[in-house]
């Protein structure tokens, strides 16, 4: 049974997102998503947290394709958050 995300406090949600972002199973996605989460999670609004959670429900190769602009982005993921992910440099 899936936990209702609205019942989890924000700090727990953030910790889960950082973990999920770092351990996707696809190294490139781990670097981009995990690096972005570590660098920006504490500055993200509640709405951005919710958008990031929704994005992480997608397949790794799709997310990577959207970030690298090799796949068309579904409307629900064509957000300012995705634009920031594209601009993020995980190797700094």
Confidence at residue 84, expressed as pLDDT on a 0 to 100 scale: 95
**Cα 8 off chain centre by:** 18
- Is residue 65 within 8 Å of residue 71, measured between CB atoms? yes
Each residue's pLDDT tens digit, 26-84 = 888 889 999 999 999 999 999 999 999 999 999 999 999 999 999 999 999 999 999 99
Helix, strand, coil distribution of the chain in percent, nearest 5: 70, 0, 30
For tokens 């019942």, the residue is 7
pTM score of the predicted model: 0.83
Q: What domains lie within the chain, and their CATH numbers? A: 10-87 (1.10.150.250)
């Amino acid at each position: 049974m899936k936990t209702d995300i609205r019942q989890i406090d924000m700090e727990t949600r953030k910790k889960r997102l950082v973990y999920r972002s770092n351990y996707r199973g696809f190294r490139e996605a781990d670097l981009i998503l995990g690096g972005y989460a570590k660098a920006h999670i504490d500055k993200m609004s509640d709405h951005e947290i919710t958008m990031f959670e929704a994005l992480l429900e997608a397949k790794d190769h799709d997310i990577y394709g959207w970030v690298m602009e090799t796949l068309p982005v579904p409307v629900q993921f064509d957000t300012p958050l995705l634009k920031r992910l594209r601009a993020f440099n995980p190797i700094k």
